[in-house]
Structure 1
Amino acid sequence: MLFWDPRKKLQISVQSKSHIEIDNSHYWSKINDRQQKDYTVNPPPKSEIKAHDDYEFSDHNRFTVINLTFKSMDVLQLSDQGHVRATHNFENNTQSWVSP
């Protein structure tokens, strides 16, 4: 994953291992009815439609839970006074300054 904030000139990069939950019923039960309905929109989100209300809701939900385990993180701060960069390894809990 890569995050960039242009106002702060800050970039954060995260390496992770992902796992899709096969049984997401525990998470599904924690969201309210309106939120559940939002996961059933048809056609799927970002599909082109002819009018602002040219969609419906179905019985099929697109709800998915993805668990991420962080492996490492890289933080880069850009600056006119000199860039600063650091890394953190979550697997062995080490961090270090690195060359930008």
Structure 2
Amino acid sequence: MGLKRRPIYVSQRENPRGDFWYTVRGGNGENVLTSKMYRERWRAIRAARAFIASIAPAPVTFTYWTGPTPQAERDGRGRGRVEHHTERIR
């Protein structure tokens, strides 16, 4: 029997000022990497997915947000609600 590998956790994060980034945590929960800041949520998610593809075939749990951004909420353009999604990859 082979060893079962702990998943790597990749999380897209954001703050109320409209900064978006992702973090990578090892199987023990410790942060091992924090990305640069992005001005759009979709760019942070795209960068996180590129990172996940580069570490294949490791098992990954990826969490990210969808819905109105903090800036859209402030500008009155935010409709709907922010939702947290989780994907298990490999």
For normalisation by structure 1, the TM-score amounts to 0.26
Structure (1 or 2) with the greater strand fraction = 1
For normalisation by structure 2, the TM-score amounts to 0.28
Highest CA radius of gyration, 1 or 2?
A: 1
Structure (1 or 2) with the greater helix fraction = 2
